[in-house]
Amino acid sequence: MDSIVGKWHPSTKLMIVLTVIIVSMFSTLPTVQYVLFGVVLVLSLFSGTITNFFNTFFKSVFVIVLFIFLVQVFIVKNEDSQSLWWFIGYSQMGMDTSVGLTSRIVAISSIIIWFFQVTSVKDIVAALEKARISKKVTFVIAATIQLIPQMSKLSQTITDAQRARGIETEGSVFIRMKAFVPMMGPLVLTSIQQTDERVLTLEARGFSAPMKKTTYYSIKKTPSDYLIVIFCLAALIVYFVGGPL
């Protein structure tokens, strides 16, 4: 986030995200989707997050894309399906469908991954507050964004504590499932406790107070932010005027 791209205003990065999503949704050519994916790779490279991007992409999006591809091509029956072995077949229609669907998933999910890797929650909250969004709405958005990382960190802490007490947490699938059950109780109870503590902290800081609040942290737009937004708007206009591909 210390790179030039990472220092862009959150609304600027959001405009890039919306541009990619809109073009991806209206495009019917897989080539366009892969070009958008290439744009995301370039943005990640200049953001200095290319390694984290690939780690996240292959652990999540790639698995989903591979599953959809295998099911559509070899499992789902179509008019042109040709039997290969047992229930496994091959379908060119399934191939075309899977390529079109997975390419769109790749383009849209990759730009979303990039956005959250180069935009801190603090910047998002500051941008929302500057846009005069309700404090409650801002808090809900920030809490939602932080939910998965917090739960993941908490589950890892509980797993380490269980391992220190001699409970097996690694090994076969059965052992992992067996260790998962006793972890759910502390995870749920700790989450409820943290929520209660967070509510008390917010009230102690005057979250519900009706007067205008000040902040020590603020972000401002630079001329480059305005240029990027104008470029995205121009790209969308040219894309739709020229006819979506």
How far apart CA 89 and CA 11 sit, in angstroms, is 47
Name the residue among 132, 128, 104, 107 with its Cα closest to residue 41. 107
Asked whether 126 and 219 are in contact (CB, 8 A), the reply is yes
User: For residue 195, is it within any domain?
Assistant: yes
Band (227; pLDDT cuts 50, 70, 90):
very high
User: For residue 3, is it within any domain?
Assistant: no
Asked whether 151 and 191 are in contact (CB, 8 A), the reply is yes
User: For residue 160, is it within any domain?
Assistant: yes
3-class DSSP state of 140? helix
Please tell me the predicted confidence (pLDDT) of residue 219.
78
- For residues 19 and 112, state if they share a domain: yes
Please enumerate, as own/partner, the contacts of 225-228 that have beta carbons within 8 Å and a separation of 24 or more: 225/8, 225/9, 225/11, 225/12, 228/8, 228/12, 228/15, 228/16
Band (63; pLDDT cuts 50, 70, 90):
confident
- For residues 114 and 228, state if they share a domain: yes
- For residues 115 and 132, state if they share a domain: no
- For residues 136 and 230, state if they share a domain: no
Find where tokens 């391992």 sit.
Answer: 163
- For residues 104 and 181, state if they share a domain: no
User: For residue 215, is it within any domain?
Assistant: no
User: For residue 145, is it within any domain?
Assistant: yes
Q: What is the CA radius of gyration of the chain?
A: 23
What count of other Cβ atoms lies within 10 Å of the Cβ of residue 133? 13
Band (198; pLDDT cuts 50, 70, 90):
confident
pLDDT tens, position by position, 111-161: 999 988 888 877 777 777 777 777 777 777 777 776 667 777 777 777 777
pTM score of the predicted model: 0.73
Owning domain of residue 175: 126-204
- For residues 97 and 65, state if they share a domain: yes
User: For residue 183, is it within any domain?
Assistant: yes
Find where tokens 């999910």 sit.
Answer: 109
User: For residue 39, is it within any domain?
Assistant: yes
β-strand 88-90 against 82-85: which pairing, if any? Answer: antiparallel
Q: Is 170 left (phi over 0), alpha (psi -120 to 50) or beta?
A: beta
- For residues 115 and 14, state if they share a domain: yes
User: For residue 4, is it within any domain?
Assistant: no
- For residues 131 and 225, state if they share a domain: no
- For residues 110 and 231, state if they share a domain: yes
- For residues 70 and 18, state if they share a domain: yes
Number of domains in the chain: 2
- For residues 235 and 114, state if they share a domain: yes
- For residues 156 and 100, state if they share a domain: no
Averaged pLDDT for residues 224-230: 89
Most confident of 14-28, 183-197, 215-229: 14-28
